[in-house]
Amino acid sequence: MSNALAIAAVTATLKDLISDSLAGLDLSAIGSVGVSALPPDRIATGETEPNQLNLFLYQVSANSAWRNHALPSRDGSGQRIGNPPLALDLHYLLTAYGAQDLSADALLGLGMQALHETPGLDRERLRSVLGPPAPPFGNFSALGLADQVEWLKITPLFLGTEELSRLWTAAQARYRPSMAYQVSVALIQSDAATRAALPVLRRGHDDRGPVAVAGTGPQLETIGNTASGFLRSARLGDTLVLGGRGLQVEGTQAHFENARTGVHQALPVQPDEDPRRLRVQLPALDDDDALAGWTPGLYTLRLRTTRAGLPALSSAPLAMMLAPRLEVAPLAASAGAAVALVLQCRPRLHPLQHAGARVLFGAHELPVDSIETPADPAQGSVLQIAIPAAVAVAGSHPVVLRVDGVDSVPVDFALPGMQFDPQQTVVIG
């Protein structure tokens, strides 16, 4: 592969090719002829116009055959894992200039013949032009172009009058007889170090190769709560009912993962009366490990079944909300005055959840003034909120804590009917 000088190296080699084709010809009738690689607007025209063939790089485009080779080049952390080449097609405009009648036409024909008889830039020519004793770029060598895997092919492009008109208008130069060519493909590649995988020494346990297992793994389809069929979330101490297909108790665990807080917990499953369902008992509120190891918020739940000597099978994940349980104080206050509300939340809040925590006091959503998490793992997080006097009007105000979009449950399902939990309702009188 070549380095960043590949484009300039191709131009230099084409220029050398055309110069060599003119070197053995008797051009005394035309006069001295030069070969250049300049923009058309920098070449003098008119009475002082020289006899000259000019090679102008007017466009660079991506090579469609190589553009998706060896992707991606970096992993999720941004580290380089590959070194894909930058594959380019180079588009040139060969233009002839002449001081006398027919000089430009003759020079254009000579230049086109040279490129027609040499439809590619071979490695020997590239090494001759780009290598010692006089490399065109000094100490910055472009000799790697001669060793790239693809040969450089020269293809004529017969442009229409509209395309030529646009080119010369954009160049802001006087039109002269021209012919377009495409050189493909120039491969530019970095020499930076990359990561490579180690060779495979064994194919699985005891080099047995892959293991084929008939059938599918567990398929999780529904998540329910035994506390109530209306409950969309779960709380510590609740029992979940998992419905699906291909479920089994032996070797199966329920995996709970909260991507925001990094919580990952695995719990055993229990059988249900219905063989198409499993039960999972969430840790109790008095479990110190649960208070410290879980956080409220949005989880993904998947079933994972392991069997001896076989790879583990996992279900697709389903979303599950873990709602906080609250203790509210005070439960009664006088109207017309601000109320200093204190909430104790279980499980404890993660530091990333402090900024977004909100309290719904009746119909009003209020920010939290302060959040403290005691060092004792048996204690929940303590939240303090100042309820303004204008909000603390007479009446009953259910209190709800919202964390990462998940609301605490203000209803006590043990009471007859659907009623707000009096232990989570502040009465202002």
Between CA 424 and CA 255 the distance in angstroms is 31
pLDDT at 215: 67
Binning the chain into helix, strand and coil, the percentages to the nearest 5 are 15, 35, 45
pLDDT at 217: 83
| Cis omega (within 30 of 0) for bond into 311 | no
Report the largest interatomic distance among the alpha carbons of the chain, rounded to a whole angstrom.
114
Helix, strand counts (H, E) of the chain: 5, 25
Place of tokens 């964390």: 403
pLDDT at 211: 72
Locate the DSSP E strands across 37-151.
52-62, 86-97, 120-121
Mean pLDDT for all residues in the chain:
91
Place of tokens 């599918």: 216
Which pair of tokens denotes residue 143? 């000799």
Place of tokens 């959840």: 353
pLDDT at 134: 83
Helices (H), 265-338: 288-293
Neighbours of 114 (CB within 10 A): 19
On whether the pTM is more than 0.75, the answer is no
Which pair of tokens denotes residue 107? 């020079």
CATH number at 219-322: 2.60.40.10
To the question of domain 325-428 being in CATH 2.60.40, the answer is: yes
Ranges of the chain with pLDDT below 70: 1, 71-72, 215
Number of Cα atoms under 13 Å in the Cβ half of residue 350: 16
pLDDT at 1: 67
pLDDT at 418: 84
Say if strands 239-245 and 425-428 run parallel, antiparallel, or are unpaired. unpaired
Residues facing residue 33 across a β-bridge: none
Phi, psi dihedral angles at 326 (to 5 degrees): -120, 150
pLDDT at 267: 96
